Amino acid sequence: MNDQWDVVVAGGGNAALVSAMAATDAGARVLLVERAPVVFRGGNSRHTRNVRCVHADADEFHTGAYPADELWSDLCGVGDGPSDEELAMLTVRESATVPAWMSARGARWQPALTGTLHLGRTNRFFLGGGKALINSYYRTASRLGITVAYDSSVEQLRFDGPRCTGLLIRSTGGERWVRAGAVVAASGGFEANIDWLRRYWGDAALNYHVRGPVYNDGTVLARLFAAGAARAGEERGFHAVAVDARSPRFDGGIATRLDSIPFGIVVNRDGRRFADEGEDIWPKRYATWGRNIAGQPGQIAFALWDAKVRGQFLPPMYGAFEAPDPQGLAKQLELDPVAIAETVAAYNAGVDRGPGGRFSMAERDGLATVGLEPPKSNWAQRLDTPPYYGVPMRPGITFTYLGVGVDEHARVRRADGGTFDNVYAAGEIMSGNILSTGYLAGFGMTIGTVWGRIAGRQAARHAHG
Ligand SMILES: Cc1cc2nc3c(=O)[nH]c(=O)nc-3n(C[C@H](O)[C@H](O)[C@H](O)COP(=O)(O)OP(=O)(O)OC[C@H]3O[C@@H](n4cnc5c(N)ncnc54)[C@H](O)[C@@H]3O)c2cc1C
């Protein structure tokens, strides 16, 4: 490894690879520093399946057009809307050129998948998933002459005023300082840093699962804050879904997510319902359930359903507990059988008082409970057909929102009002500039690609003076 580079990129996921390729395209000599070993390279990005971009027409990969106005209004409709409207609008606009840019660097696509998230019109799916995309990008990076240091972590950043003068890289061979004309921070969020999460969530964080790798511990983010970087995004902001409680603590990926929730009911460890399982269509609500469960005692909950809906959603990867009656299921799940019997009876009574009609997951079917607290607003049908099924669930954190503030050139802003001279950021580490609290499926890869291109280009330009 040389000691002097035009651009050093911290990270090895989508945003880092895009930044590195864009900087190389602009003529820079680039070192990419990936903390993970080669087999686990690619961060959260290797777990992804799709990217959300503006497009004018249906084609072999999309079932219809997705105009910029619609993506903008979808973005405004999640959480508290965009944090910085100009940067968010820029992201929407630039997304239109993302698929062609990706294709030119090795991305391959597949026709939209069917499934519980119904994203065929708005999102484009990677053939072979994020792992295949990341592998293609690493091949392209190698062809472009980008140097990749695996098993290597950026541990420190040295500053002279607003200018980063060096990075301390720790690898299996020891530690060394390298210098760079410009630095791109693309090292993701801090979701794998349980101590950091505990600052905001207390001991509840000890029960969270982390869907991506152990490597995203926010070291670079913390160093940037220590050097005076401005903050963007909510401290307590994270995207979290319900995952199977039996899944690994880290890196379970997409397969551990549970999609059964709107098909039945959810109870806490006391056997009581605590949230509306049928509030809205699943693509809009699936990401509220991580937080719902995080708010329950012991950060655990249980999805229950019956034979009527078997086969209508992705099956749980470790199988479901099964019993001929709710009490038997309760025993298997180590819940109080009396509480479960009462909860199911109360729920069924609420369904009986409801409007009745045809159960349909294709839309909000209006089959709501009546006189039940909390209500189930749609897809409420009796739990009465054996066998009964259940699965324990934990909050599964996808990523955190708190990151560094950037300007329109992806340059990291300082809390004192200026910017760093030569430090740029892309991807999850700056997504708090775009997303405040909510999330749109597929937009994480959009942010990483749009801002990776900007950061890489600008970093190369800066390095060449
Ligand atoms: C299970 C799952 C499914 C998802 N599905 C989708 C989807 O289909 N579409 C979508 O748009 N988004 C999806 N997301 C979100 C998406 O993964 C992220 O928005 C996106 O990958 C972020 O890219 P990134 O490059 O910023 O971070 P990451 O891909 O997480 O990359 C961070 C990189 O930084 C490295 N790193 C960390 N610390 C250091 C350090 N100190 N020094 C050097 N390297 C370091 C890590 O090893 C890693 O390579 C999903 C996330 C998960 C967990």
CA of 14 to the centre of ligand 1 (A): 7
CA of 328 to the centre of ligand 1 (A): 41
CA of 62 to the centre of ligand 1 (A): 24
pLDDT digit string (tens) for 235-269? 888 999 999 999 999 999 999 999 999 999 999 99
- Could you tell me the two tokens for 131? 């792992």
CA distances from 168 to 154, 226, 278 (A): 6, 15, 50
The predicted model gives 128-136 an average pLDDT of 97
Kindly give the number of the ligand 1 atom that is closest to the alpha carbon of 426: 26
Q: Which amino acid is at 122?
A: T
Q: Best-predicted range by mean pLDDT among 23-37, 352-366, 438-452?
A: 23-37
The residues pairing with 241 across neighbouring beta strands, listed in sequence order, are 396
Quick one: pLDDT band at residue 92, thresholds 50, 70, 90? Answer: very high
Answer whether 223's CB lies under 8 Å from 46's CB.
no
Query: pLDDT value at position 115?
Result: 61
List all residues 6 or more positions away from 261 whose beta carbon is below 8 Å from its beta carbon: 242, 277, 282, 286, 289, 303
Kindly give the number of the ligand 1 atom that is closest to the alpha carbon of 15: 25
- What sign does the dihedral 249-226-400-292 (CA atoms) show? positive
Answer whether 14's CB lies under 8 Å from 443's CB.
no
Query: pLDDT value at position 79?
Result: 79
Residue 54, pLDDT > 60, answer yes
Task: Work out the mean pLDDT of the chain and round it to a whole number.
Answer: 95
Residue from 261, 275, 262, 251 nearest 398 by CA: 251
Kindly give the number of the ligand 1 atom that is closest to the alpha carbon of 154: 42
Ligand 1, residues 45, 109, 193, 317: which to mutate, most atoms within 8 A of Cβ?
Answer: 45
pLDDT digit string (tens) for 305-326? 999 999 999 899 999 999 999 9
Residue 438, pLDDT > 80, answer no
Query: pLDDT value at position 431?
Result: 95
CA of 448 to the centre of ligand 1 (A): 9
Express as a percent the part of the chain with pLDDT over 90: 89
Ligand 1, residues 31, 187, 440: which to mutate, most atoms within 8 A of Cβ?
Answer: 187
CA of 266 to the centre of ligand 1 (A): 30
For 279, phi and psi rounded to 5 degrees?
A: -60, -45
Ligand 1, residues 8, 9, 38, 44: which to mutate, most atoms within 8 A of Cβ?
Answer: 44
Residue 282, pLDDT > 80, answer no
Residue 83, pLDDT > 90, answer no
For 180, phi and psi rounded to 5 degrees?
A: -145, 145
Query: pLDDT value at position 1?
Result: 58
List all residues 6 or more positions away from 104 whose beta carbon is below 8 Å from its beta carbon: none
Residue from 462, 446, 461, 390 nearest 14 by CA: 446
- What sign does the dihedral 357-360-364-369 (CA atoms) show? positive
Nearest CA to ligand 1 atom 27: 188
The predicted model gives 371-389 an average pLDDT of 98
The two counts, helices (H) then strands (E), for the chain are: 12, 19
CA of 425 to the centre of ligand 1 (A): 14
Q: Which residue has the tokens 């590195």?
A: 20
Kindly give the number of the ligand 1 atom that is closest to the alpha carbon of 52: 11
The predicted model gives 67-86 an average pLDDT of 91
Q: Which residue has the tokens 């607290």?
A: 373
pLDDT digit string (tens) for 213-227? 999 999 999 999 999
Helices 129-143 and 14-25, interaxial angle, to 10°? 30
CA of 159 to the centre of ligand 1 (A): 26
Quick one: pLDDT band at residue 70, thresholds 50, 70, 90? Answer: very high
210, 212, 216, 218: CA torsion to nearest 10: -50
Residue 77, pLDDT > 90, answer no
CA distance 258 to 301: 12
CA of 13 to the centre of ligand 1 (A): 6
Kindly give the number of the ligand 1 atom that is closest to the alpha carbon of 187: 34
Cis omega (within 30 of 0) on the bond before 395? Answer: no
Domains of the chain: 4-192+215-236+402-463 (3.50.50.60), 240-396 (3.90.700.10)
Residue 2, pLDDT > 70, answer no
Query: pLDDT value at position 179?
Result: 97
CA of 451 to the centre of ligand 1 (A): 14
Radius of gyration of the chain (CA): 23
Kindly give the number of the ligand 1 atom that is closest to the alpha carbon of 217: 38
Quick one: pLDDT band at residue 117, thresholds 50, 70, 90? Answer: low
CA of 12 to the centre of ligand 1 (A): 8
Helices 85-95 and 443-463, interaxial angle, to 10°? 100
Query: pLDDT value at position 437?
Result: 77
Residue 455, pLDDT > 70, answer yes
Query: pLDDT value at position 294?
Result: 96
CA of 207 to the centre of ligand 1 (A): 21
Residue 116, pLDDT > 60, answer no
Nearest CA to ligand 1 atom 11: 442
Which segments within 79-134 are labelled E, that is strand? 109-110, 123-126
Helix (H) or strand (E) holding 149: strand 147-149
List all residues 6 or more positions away from 436 whose beta carbon is below 8 Å from its beta carbon: 79, 80, 81, 82, 83, 233, 234, 237, 401
Neighbouring C-beta atoms of residue 326, cutoff 10 Å? 24
Cβ < 6 Å from ligand 1: which residues? 10-16, 33-36, 42-45, 47-51, 153-154, 186-188, 211-212, 215-216, 219-220, 253-254, 398-399, 427-428, 442-445, 448
User: Residue 70: CA atoms inside 13 Å, Cβ hemisphere, count?
Assistant: 13
Q: How many residues are there in the chain?
A: 465
